[in-house]
Amino acid sequence: ILCGLCVRVCNEIIGESAISFTGRGLNRKVLPPFDKPSEVCITCGACAFICPTGAIKIEDILDKRKVSISKAESELVKCKQCNSFFVPFPVADKIKQKLSDIFEFIDLCPKCRRKISIKKYLECQT
C-alpha cells in the first residue's frame, strides 16, 4: 500500500535510513539504495513490526537474521546464560552506545534478564 511507515520508522526512530521510496507513480517502491543489500540496516525489525500489511518479513535462521525489504543479514548475539540467539549484533552495539549503564544485561536474552532482575529485586527486599 506504500504507506511509508517503514521508511519513517527507519529514518526517524532508528536513525539509519536503510530503506526509502524509489520510482514515481505506478513504479514507486520501498527499497534499499540502488536495490542492493543495505549496508546500514541493523536488522532491528522495526520496519516489519510497524508494517500494517505484513509485507516485510524477518527470518531468524540459526544464528542469523534476514530482513526482506532491506535485503540485509546479520549475526545474532548468543545469550551468556542459556545460549539462545536473541538480538542482532548491530542492535546490541547501538544499545551499548546509548545505554552503557545497563551493560551487565546487554548479553542476556529477555528471559534470563528477567530472572536475574527478579532475583536481585528479591535480594534487596530481604
Please write the tens of the pLDDT for every residue from 8-21.
999 999 888 899 99
Residue by residue, DSSP assigns 7-31 as: HHIIIIII-----EEESSGGG-EEE
Provide the greatest CA pair distance for the chain. 65
The SS3 assignment for 33 reads helix
pLDDT tens for each residue of 63-90: 889 888 888 889 988 888 898 888 888 8
Output the average pLDDT for the chain.
Answer: 86
> b/e string for 16-29 if b means 16 or more Cβ within 10 A?
bebbeeeeeeeeee
Assessment of whether the complete model's pTM goes beyond 0.85: no
Q: Percent of the chain having pLDDT more than 70?
A: 95
